[in-house]
Structures are given as structure tokens and as C-alpha cells.
């Protein structure tokens, strides 16, 4: 269960970083 939770958190972090990078590139 812990591994699954960690994977979900990692995915959220990656998606957040990608969205942040896109906004930075647009600016």
C-alpha cells in the first residue's frame, strides 16, 4: 500500500512540475 501511495504522490509532483514548467516557458 505504501508503494502505491508513493507512486501516486510522485505522479502528482511530476504533473505539477510539468505544468509549472509550461507556464514558465509561456512567460
The count of other CB atoms within 10 Å of the CB of residue 11 is 10
The pLDDT value recorded for residue 4 is 95
- SS3 of the chain: helix, strand, coil, percent, to 5: 95, 0, 5
- The model's pLDDT over 1-27, given as tens digits with 9 standing for 90+, comes to 688 999 999 999 999 999 998 888 887
The pLDDT value recorded for residue 24 is 82
The pLDDT value recorded for residue 25 is 84
The pLDDT value recorded for residue 1 is 63
Amino acid at each position: 500500500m505504501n508503494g502505491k501511495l508513493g507512486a501516486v504522490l510522485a505522479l502528482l509532483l511530476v504533473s505539477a512540475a510539468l505544468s509549472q514548467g509550461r507556464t514558465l516557458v509561456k512567460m
